[in-house]
Amino acid sequence: MNKPRSITRYNQPIPHMRARTSSGLRLGWLTSFLLATVFLPSSLCASGLGDTARQLAHKIAAASGPGAFALEVTNRSSLDEKSVREVRSALEAQLHVEGVHTTKAEQAMGTVEVVLSESLREYVWTAEIVIGSDEKRVALVSLPRSPTGTSFAAAMPIVLKPTLLLAQEQPMLDVALVEMPGGSRLLVLDEGAVAIYRQQGLNPAGRWELEASLPIAHSRTFPRDLRGRLLLRRDHLFDVYLPGTFCRSTSNAVAPLTLTCNDSDDPWPLTPEDGSVRAFFAGARNFFTRALSPGIGKVSNVPSFYSAAALPRSSYTLWVLAAVDGSLHLVDGMMDQVIRGVKWGSDLAAVHSSCGTGTQLLISGSDTERDGLRAFEIPDRDPVAASAAVEFDGRIVALWPESSGNNAAAIVKRKDTEWYEAYRVSISCGN
pLDDT at 402 over 80: yes
**pLDDT band at 6; cut points 50, 70, 90:** very low
Burial class (CB in 10 A: 0-12, 13-18, 19+), 123: buried
| Cα separations in angstroms, 67 against 70, 87, 112, 127, 177 | 10, 21, 12, 16, 60
Higher pLDDT, 324 or 382: 324
Q: What is the mean pLDDT of the segment spanning 384-394? A: 87
Residue 115's DSSP bridge partners are 74, 126
pLDDT digits (tens, 9 = 90+) for 188-242: 999 999 999 998 766 555 588 999 999 999 998 999 899 999 999 988 999 999 9
Distance of CA 394 to the CA centre of its chain: 23
pLDDT digits (tens, 9 = 90+) for 143-153: 886 554 333 33
pLDDT at position 87, please? 93
61 secondary structure, DSSP code:
H
pLDDT at position 150, please? 36
pLDDT digits (tens, 9 = 90+) for 96-138: 999 999 999 889 999 999 988 876 567 889 899 998 766 788 8
Tell which phi-psi region holds residue 338, choosing left (phi > 0), alpha (psi between -120 and 50) or beta.
beta
pLDDT at position 369, please? 66
Calculate helix-pair angle for 42-64, 81-97, nearest 10 degrees: 40
pLDDT digits (tens, 9 = 90+) for 226-237: 999 999 998 899
pLDDT digits (tens, 9 = 90+) for 298-346: 888 999 999 999 999 888 899 999 999 989 999 998 888 888 877 778 8
pLDDT digits (tens, 9 = 90+) for 33-68: 333 333 333 334 446 888 999 999 999 999 999 999
Whether the predicted model's global pTM rises above the 0.85 cut:
no
pLDDT at position 262, please? 96
Contact between residue 25 and residue 345 where contact means Cβ atoms under 8 Å apart: yes
